[in-house]
């Protein structure tokens, strides 16, 4: 899925900020940040600049171990530590600290979200990645089954609301939800792209976003890759 969306874009002579934006289109993953690093190798762009462009939206967003595992290779690839990994890990650690109770874990993570530094694309990118790690936690809490996962998402609504507030609008969180489901379907962790419609439904019911905002993401996404379009069709 990533190569379909990104390869034609990063092969062009893009400015660094455009490289980050292009790679963020496919959502956070090891492939995404490595594509950023490869495209900008030798161009003298600082990691601080890349973070201000929204690098966090390309970073791994699974469990705390996945996030921590990215620390050494990202530091080497970008020539310095990626600060967003610390913020992302603190959010996931707060969730996992109450692993048996998704609602309590989400409540604990809200303070970590409020403490996220920066502004603009840097914060938006981090909120997207944080939404993905929260969804990953919900999937784990739900035993990789759709109904329990959706129930966990509903219980974690305060965290998603905090992410919308910190991002300044629901659009980045809707984007994160849609891409996360598409990635999980592509990777085989989720069988049915209709999980996307159920998760969006739970977030709408909890007041995280409106039905119109969820539908707007779906409308924008129906012309994208087959997996993303399948998720969009379920919303």
Percent of the chain at pLDDT > 70 equals: 95
pLDDT of residue 42: 85
- C-alpha 4/C-alpha 225 separation (Å) is 7
3-state class (DSSP) for residue 46: coil
* 196 and 135 Cβ atoms separated by less than 8 Å: no
pLDDT of residue 168: 94
- C-alpha 197/C-alpha 205 separation (Å) is 12
pLDDT of residue 14: 83
* 52 and 205 Cβ atoms separated by less than 8 Å: no
pLDDT digits (tens, 9 = 90+) for 175-185: 999 999 998 98
**Long-range CB pairs of 205-210, under 8 A, 24+ apart, other chains included:** 205/154, 206/154, 206/157, 206/160, 206/161, 207/157, 207/161, 208/157, 208/160, 208/161, 208/164, 208/170, 208/173, 209/164, 209/170, 209/173, 209/174, 210/170
Please report, for the chain, the start and end positions of each structural domain, with discontinuous segments joined by +: 2-233
pLDDT digits (tens, 9 = 90+) for 90-136: 999 999 998 889 999 999 999 999 988 888 999 999 999 999 999 99
Regarding pTM above 0.85, the answer is yes
Q: How far is CA 113 from CA 107, 119, 175, 183, in A?
A: 10, 13, 18, 24
- Tokens representing 10? 């990063």
Phi-psi region of 188 (alpha: psi -120 to 50; beta: other; left: phi over 0): left
- C-alpha 10/C-alpha 127 separation (Å) is 23
Cα 62–chain centre separation: 9
Mean pLDDT by 10 residues, the chain (235 residues): 54 81 84 90 92 93 89 95 93 91 94 88 94 95 94 97 96 94 89 95 97 96 88 95
For the chain, what is the largest distance between any 2 Cα atoms, rounded to a whole number of angstroms?
A: 48
């Amino acid at each position: 899925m990533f190569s379909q969306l990104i390869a034609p874009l990063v092969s062009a002579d893009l400015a660094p900020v455009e490289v980050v934006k292009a790679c963020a289109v496919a959502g956070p993953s090891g492939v995404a940040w490595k594509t950023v690093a490869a495209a900008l190798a030798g161009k003298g762009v600082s990691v601080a600049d890349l973070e201000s462009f929204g690098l966090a939206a390309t970073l791994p967003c699974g469990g705390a171990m996945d996030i921590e595992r990215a620390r050494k290779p990202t530091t080497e690839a970008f020539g310095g530590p990626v600060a967003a990994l610390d913020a992302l890990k603190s959010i996931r650690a707060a969730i996992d600290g109450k692993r048996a109770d998704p609602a309590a874990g989400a409540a604990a993570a809200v303070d970590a979200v409020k403490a996220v530094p920066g502004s603009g694309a840097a914060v938006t990118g981090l909120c997207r990645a944080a939404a993905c790690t929260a969804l990953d936690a919900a999937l784990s809490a739900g035993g990789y089954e759709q109904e329990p996962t959706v129930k966990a998402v509903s219980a974690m609504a305060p965290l998603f609301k905090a992410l919308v507030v910190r991002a300044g609008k629901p659009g980045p969180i809707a984007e994160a939800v849609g891409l996360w489901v598409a990635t999980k379907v592509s990777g085989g962790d989720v069988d049915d792209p209709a999980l996307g419609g159920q998760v969006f439904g739970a977030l709408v019911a909890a007041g995280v976003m409106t039905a119109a905002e969820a539908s707007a993401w779906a409308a924008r996404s129906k012309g994208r890759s087959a997996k993303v379009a399948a998720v969009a069709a379920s919303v």
